[in-house]
Structure 1
């Protein structure tokens, strides 16, 4: 019995130590100074994590003023993360999209509105059937102005819902582009069962909620 107690104590100690190490690494990410991405040919970039990036890519690409969404990883402490690494939930990263947009056509504030309108804002560590820290919601800011926009909208939404909003707010550090086969996945694989059952319904639900921001059909 005494031997069992010793084993349990040691297990707890090692567990706490491991958690502290993880938390320390993540705290360094959360507390870092944000990195601002320069405009390129008049286009800006924004970064959002909101569950499976297959879903989020399509949502943002339907928005007027958005040129492209790129799937990748951000928010963690691991260098060069892969999809397999991310799925372990140990990298600190979440599946993230890089949004390339024209700030003259769509504001960062509107993109934040799109973000909240296209997800379940109260779901912690996931969206829909996708659960785990790699699917958690994060909004990344690149300067103090963006941070205040995010915090203001998050607070207003929480008050409206009378529930906590799950999205974390991180200073942007680095975006790691995901493997080629993840890019434009919803558009390229409309027959996929996940796309049909999860991604497309999520996209249509968002489009019905914010029709005023959508690209006009040609």
Structure 2
């Protein structure tokens, strides 16, 4: 459609009068400060401040400070004697001979043994977990604590089971299990147990062509292992194959179920 130029030019004065500066804009209300619903971002000095890694200090990392007394206290507790008491008329014994599953089942089968527990001892960390011990930094040993009736079972009998269950000449190793927690050790509760352990080691040394590295030390605080470790093989192990814990049973022990 054609538009006449005369009509456009005739309207220019009207348009120019409307848009002639200054323009009049509507007034807007003043802006209010914006308040965020989010948590304010910390200042850089606190945002990047590293938290104190007290659990690392427990293992000897980092700088020592006054607060490290808690670490020393933990070590002192862990290195203290085993203050648990056996049932009346019973005695305790502790043995470390590699992974504690197999040795526990062996002791369960001994006549006169009334209770067995697996756990950790000889370390310097209070209340260790299995994961802690497996790091190799806590110095714990995996042990079986045996409660027995001395009228029915002699300490020498328990020592015989100990020597038969592992190789006492391999340092921090039993088969494929490698680590300080698998070291060979006899941990005595009485002078009589210490004497018997030393004499037993001497006798055993004469039977072997390699040096025995079994440590014989006072029994220290015993930390009971997690419940799934207790009587592990008798309950079925990893594959659900239960192994007999009957007294006098001579079935071969499959260490991993």
Alignment-derived partner of residue 211 in structure 1:
none
Deviation of residue 192 (structure 1)?
2.5
Q: Distance in 1 between the 2:83 and 2:216 partners? A: 15
Structure having the larger proportion of residues in helix: 1
CA contact (8 A) 2:80 2:221 kept: no
The equivalent position to 1:185 in structure 2, one of 232, 238, 255, is 232
Alignment-derived partner of residue 82 in structure 1:
129
Deviation of residue 204 (structure 1)?
4.4
Normalised to the residue count of structure 1, the TM-score between the two structures is: 0.71
CA contact (8 A) 2:92 2:189 kept: no
- 1:95 aligns to 2:155 (yes or no): no
- Secondary structure at the counterpart of residue 73 of structure 1: strand
What per-residue deviation string (whole Å, max 9, x for no partner) do you get for residues 160-192 of structure 1? 213211211111121000011111110112562
Normalised to the residue count of structure 2, the TM-score between the two structures is: 0.61
The alignment covers a number of residue pairs equal to 174
The 3 A distance-change label for structure 1 pair 45 and 108 is same
Give the alignment of 1:115-154 within 5 angstroms.
Answer: 115-154=162-201
Runs of 5+ in structure 2 lacking a partner? Answer: 1-59, 62-71, 244-249
- 1:71 aligns to 2:118 (yes or no): yes
What per-residue deviation string (whole Å, max 9, x for no partner) do you get for residues 2-42 of structure 1? xxxxxxxxxxxxxxx98xxxxxx9xx99xx89667655221
Deviation of residue 141 (structure 1)?
0.9
Q: Distance in 1 between the 2:141 and 2:215 partners? A: 11
- Secondary structure at the counterpart of residue 158 of structure 2: helix
Q: Distance in 2 between the 1:184 and 1:136 partners? A: 20
The equivalent position to 1:166 in structure 2, one of 202, 213, 230, is 213
Q: Distance in 2 between the 1:75 and 1:88 partners? A: 15
- Secondary structure at the counterpart of residue 185 of structure 1: coil
Give the alignment of 1:25-44 within 5 angstroms.
Answer: 38-44=85-91
Q: Distance in 1 between the 2:183 and 2:242 partners? A: 19
- Say what the alpha-carbon RMSD is for the aligned residues: 2.8
Q: Distance in 2 between the 1:120 and 1:110 partners? A: 18
The 3 A distance-change label for structure 1 pair 100 and 148 is same
Q: Distance in 2 between the 1:78 and 1:97 partners? A: 18
Deviation of residue 143 (structure 1)?
2.0
